[in-house]
A = this chain, B = another copy of it.
Amino acid sequence: MKNKIATAKLERQIIKSMKSFLEKEDFFEIFPPKIVRASGACENIDTLFEVGVEGNLHWFNPKNPHRVYLSQTAQLYLEAFTPYLEKIYSIGPSFRAEAGDDNRHLTEFTLLEIEFSGKFKKLLKYIEGTIYSAVKDILLLSEKERKAMNIEKKDIERLKKISIPFPAITYNEAVEILDIPFGDDISPEDEQKLTQEFDNQPLFITHFPNPLVDFGKEIEVEKFFNMMPDPEDKKKILSCDLILPFGGEAVGAAQRVHDPKELKWRLNNSKMFKRLQEKGGKLSDFNWYFQKMEEKSIPHSGCGFGVGRILEFIKGKDDIRKVITFPLNQASII
């Protein structure tokens, strides 16, 4: 248990730092549901867990039975509160049916999510502030405390060099630096190459290409349905990933579309929704969200912080199983 205790101490430390930064910035904690309709799905539809009772996967809503899933993201629930509480966050498990037993994927991990009434530039500032305050708080620990968390001197030296503002490049710039074809995903190996190019600092990659556009008109939504197209270039979206040394993609973020009509169009015409339908998902799975957006909706943005990947960055490890207290994957449920 000795290693596990050190791990638990660092995990708690980082989560405390991040929450305390957000609380100081007046973010308000809510407690969103974990058993959800498809409205709790992220882009990665294929990894939805289903929930049943006595073998029955249609136990909920007996009058009109439907499938339910384990939440991958609380985003849509948080979004509904932005017109009233301005800045919201939640922290809890995110569930992904990722097969196998490897250094990057878990079936369950702690996800800290924020949403606020504001735009893309402010979003980058909140992400930077949250990560930077976690690093700064580590540097304020006593040597005894660091030892109790198994943090090594070389990692302290490395973390001392982290500075703000974090470098930021566009997706277009990233593929140019990496010399990979436009449109390709950036692999975990390439992510690490990029952070090395930028002095081993956390690195924002922004403005991912998104919509399928024909004669200037968007015809299909490729990414998560409510990411906001860039008003200056509608082939891009106002999204960003934060790439960390060791941890890789630790934060996924975007400004959200907030016009309810456009939201419905985008969901209906998204690749994500087509895959959802194959799984039994329906437009009505999103009723609660659409209803809230129709009641009141304002420009808003948000993101999710993968706590495990931030811990990899702090500890200088590239195996997520080594940095969290309960690393759970397909092979290791306890």
Contact = CB atoms under 8 A, between A and B. Distances in A.
Is the interface on chain A under 10, 10 to 19, 20 to 34, or 35 or more residues? 35 or more
Contacts of A51: 49-52, 70
A37 interface: yes
A107 B12 contact: no
A85 interface: yes
Contacts of A295: 1
A72 to B, nearest CB: 13
A328 B49 contact: no
A8 interface: yes
Nearest to A30: B8
A295 B66 CA distance: 45
Contacts of A330: 59-62
A332 to B, nearest CB: 8
A31 B333 contact: no
Contacts of A110: 31
B50 A55 contact: yes
A95 interface: yes
B35 A49 contact: yes
Nearest to A39: B334
A317 B284 CA distance: 32
Contacts of A139: none
Interface in A81-126: 81, 83-85, 92-93, 95, 97, 107-108, 110
Nearest to A50: B52
Nearest to A52: B50
Contact of A85 (B5, B11, B70, B333): B5
A32 interface: yes
Given A29-B12, A52-B57, A93 B34 contact: yes
B12 A334 contact: no
